[in-house]
Amino acid sequence: MKRTEPFEMYQPTTLQEASRLLKEHGPGGRFLAGGTDLVIAMKEKGLLPKYIVDLKRVPGLSGIREKGDGSIALGALTTMYEIETSPLIRKKYPFLAQSAAEVGSIQIRNRATVGGNMANATPSADVAPALIALDAAAKIASASAERTIPLKEFFQGPGQTVMNTDEILTEITIPKTDPRLVGEYIKFSPREMMDLAYVGVAVVYNLGAQDKKCEGVRIVLGAVAPTPIRAERAEAALEGQVLTEALAEKVGQIAAEEAKPISDVRSSADYRRAMVGAMTKRALLNAAVGPATSWYDRRDRRY
């Protein structure tokens, strides 16, 4: 395996300093979080950053906090393993914890961060669909300003986000949700672990206790478009309706029409599209019966 080439490395201790370094040193610099994408890109794809700005010495960028208003803040440097094992996330959003557990191995998840995963903007990023389905927002800071944008608008294309080079993703915020909220994330890939998603589907809706109607429906697709996308026509087809197997099938078909998959070494576009339909249906029905208890259970689960 090829080795990384030399580069300058900075370890700022404030966000302002980190942002200023990128501004002053100009193009060719990269921020470093967990390194599980960046170091692989340097070794495997010949990426040669002129300099690296390690964000891990900046305090306050990691950890999961529930705020007074019921929202939850995920610091950008929170690791996938922290999300996967957080009692708060497991209780409130088990499908989000599970989507984090779908990333690589435990060794990878102890390093990979939610901020790095979002900032690298891989179309198949596993936690992105669940976060978008929860209407999460991205907090972005530079030396002089801070802004917040919906995560849905954060991604611009493979590897591309709305951030300028001197901007840093500092936090993902999940707004307060309805107590009736249920959800599911299905990663569809030929191997059960250590694989990238052919198709990722996150669904979230508020399930009426009495009338069983679905409200606030979110259906978010990963790996089947240049960015994670919401299947808004499919969402509308379920909004206010009582979920049945026939309706789930129909909603799945609409979601499949909304996907814009490509053919590549992993799978053909047609197959991906068909799987969007099947997995959306399955995710909608699984969500209604509650979270799976283990990955064995999840693998075989058909609502």
Partner 1 sequence: MNKAIHFTLNGKPASREVLTHRLLLDLLRDEIGLTGTKEGCGTGDCGACTVYLNGKPVNSCLVLSGELDGADIVTIEGLKIGPELHPIQKTFLQDGGAQCGYCTPGMLMMAKALLDENTNPTEEEIRFALAGNLCRCTGYAKIVQAVQDAAAMLRK
* Residue ranges of E strands in the chain: 8-10, 29-32, 51-54, 64-66, 72-75, 137-141, 146-150, 155-157, 160-161, 168-174, 181-188, 199-207, 214-222, 229-230
Residues that bind partner 1 (CB under 8 A): 1, 3-9, 11, 32, 35-36, 39-40, 43-44, 52, 54, 56, 81, 104-108, 110-111, 193-194, 294-296
Q: What is the DSSP letter of 231?
A: -
Nearest CA among 39, 61, 111 for reference residue 82? 111
Closer to partner 1 by Cβ: residue 112 or 285: 112
Closer to partner 1 by Cβ: residue 44 or 146: 44
| Distance of closest approach, residue 2 Cβ to partner 1, in angstroms | 8
Closer to partner 1 by Cβ: residue 4 or 165: 4
3-state secondary structure labels for all residues of 75-99: ECCCEHHHHHHCHHHHHHCHHHHHH
Q: Which amino acid is present at 100?
A: A
Closer to partner 1 by Cβ: residue 145 or 265: 265
Torsion sign across C-alpha atoms 50, 15, 139, 117? positive
Closer to partner 1 by Cβ: residue 32 or 256: 32
Contacts of 13 (CB under 8 A, 6+ apart): 57, 58, 59
| Distance of closest approach, residue 191 Cβ to partner 1, in angstroms | 9
Closer to partner 1 by Cβ: residue 94 or 252: 94
Pairing of strands 160-161, 137-141: unpaired
| Distance of closest approach, residue 292 Cβ to partner 1, in angstroms | 12
| Distance of closest approach, residue 1 Cβ to partner 1, in angstroms | 3
Closer to partner 1 by Cβ: residue 81 or 154: 81
| Distance of closest approach, residue 156 Cβ to partner 1, in angstroms | 26
- Report the alpha-carbon angle 204-140-107, nearest 5: 65
Percent helix, strand and coil across the chain, each rounded to 5? Answer: 35, 25, 40
| Distance of closest approach, residue 73 Cβ to partner 1, in angstroms | 22
| Distance of closest approach, residue 154 Cβ to partner 1, in angstroms | 25
